[in-house]
Amino acid sequence: MKGLVISRFGSEADIELPDGQILRCHLRRKLENIVCGDRVLCQNEGDHQGVVTKILPRESVLERPIRYQGLKAVAANLDQICIVVSPEPEFSSLILDKYLVAAEHAGINALIIFNKADLLPGYADIPQQLDVYRALDYTVLLTSVKKPEGLEALQQSLSNHSSVFVGQSGVGKSSLVNALLPEVQAQVSEISDNSGLGTHTTTASRLYHLPGHGILIDSPGIREFSLEHIDKKLLKQGYREIYRCSEFCKYRDCLHLQEPGCAVKKAVEENLIDKGRYARYIKILQQEDE
Ligand SMILES: Nc1nc2c(ncn2[C@@H]2O[C@H](COP(=O)(O)OP(=O)(O)OP(=O)(O)O)[C@@H](O)[C@H]2O)c(=O)[nH]1
Ligand SMILES: [Mg+2]
Ligand SMILES: [Zn+2]
């Protein structure tokens, strides 16, 4: 029978069956890469145990590279990637850009959620930094779980979509899930005083149903989001304004470094392309670490 992957841990997964029941299933070795949001075929083997026999074709998949392991799927069958950022842990345009590149690469619409808006105006420069993204037609929502603020607008943006929350550990992904779905009690914990970083509270992705139609997947935060799997030529497609402009470069394979007749460099000089975005594109291109 058909099922939907609700959660995945080690060699097992929780599968939601058409009648709403959750069946804990064993995963065969060759089906090891199943993730939240996957639609699968499974068999009930009795005793509240089942086995997944097949992954049905995916409409979309968000992937990220894991060091020494290669590409790993994060979630499947999404139509929206919600990148959650916050003032604490420290906001990083570079990390945001990397998620956006991954979203563009996967062909999935991205939504930027600036959470912990209650910590403004101490960090009033961040909404300004986000204006660059608004100008690129990304939707940016300001939310606060503590105040609370912006949660209705967020709910509206999520309804009728299949979304995943991604972002650094500690930005408040699970807190937002709890605020949106009061019957859910996802585990949440404080940011470490020493490092100012999140403590990797969520250890496995988990799929929730939203009221009406819509799916929301909470994912574990990551400290580093490298883009090693993205081909250099594809990277520029991940920067949508660079991609649009590259059509006017003299050379089709222009990487916008020092090539003659580069329309992107010209647009940067003329302030038509944001200097910060271009600098980060170059930084990722040259694979520099922060
Ligand atoms: N001030 C403030 N704190 C918040 C807000 N949302 C979440 N927090 C706090 O941020 C901390 C981390 O929240 P989590 O929801 O566990 O963060 P997460 O993104 O799920 O972290 P991981 O599961 O590790 O990826 C907790 O102490 C929350 O109470 C907010 O809107 N304002
Ligand atoms: Mg969490
Ligand atoms: Zn160029």
Mean local confidence (pLDDT), 20-48: 92
* Site residues for ligand 1, CB cut-off 6 Å: 115-116, 118-119, 144-146, 169-175, 188-191, 198-202, 220-221
* Best residue for ligand 1 mutational test, from 90, 126, 151, 188 (most atoms within 8 Å of Cβ): 188
Give me the pLDDT at residue 67, please: 67
Asked if the 2-55 domain carries CATH number 2.40.50.140, the reply is yes
In this predicted structure, the answer to whether residue 288 has a pLDDT above a threshold of 60 is: no
Instruction: Locate CATH 3.40.50.300 in the chain.
Output: 61-218
pTM metric for this prediction: 0.94
| Pick from 138, 166, 183, 173: nearest CA to 222 | 166
pLDDT category, 250, cuts 50, 70, 90?
A: very high
Mean local confidence (pLDDT), 94-105: 91
Give me the pLDDT at residue 234, please: 75
pLDDT category, 225, cuts 50, 70, 90?
A: low
Instruction: Evaluate whether 104 touches 238 at the Cβ level (below 8 Å).
Output: yes
Instruction: Locate CATH 1.10.40.50 in the chain.
Output: 232-285
In this predicted structure, the answer to whether residue 226 has a pLDDT above a threshold of 80 is: no
Instruction: Locate CATH 2.40.50.140 in the chain.
Output: 2-55
Range name among 50-64, 185-199, 242-256 with the lowest pLDDT average: 185-199
Strand partners, 117: none
Give me the pLDDT at residue 47, please: 86
pLDDT category, 229, cuts 50, 70, 90?
A: low
Structure tokens at 2: 């058909």
* Residues contacting 131, CB < 8 A, separation 6+: none
Fold of 61-218: Rossmann fold (3.40.50)
Give me the pLDDT at residue 190, please: 87
Which ligand 1 atom sits nearest the alpha carbon of residue 221?
25
Asked if the 232-285 domain carries CATH number 3.20.20.60, the reply is no
Kindly report, residue by residue over 175-205, the tens digit of the pLDDT: 999 999 999 988 998 888 777 778 788 889 9
For residue 96, how far is its CA from the centre of ligand 2 (angstroms)?
A: 18
Give me the pLDDT at residue 144, please: 98
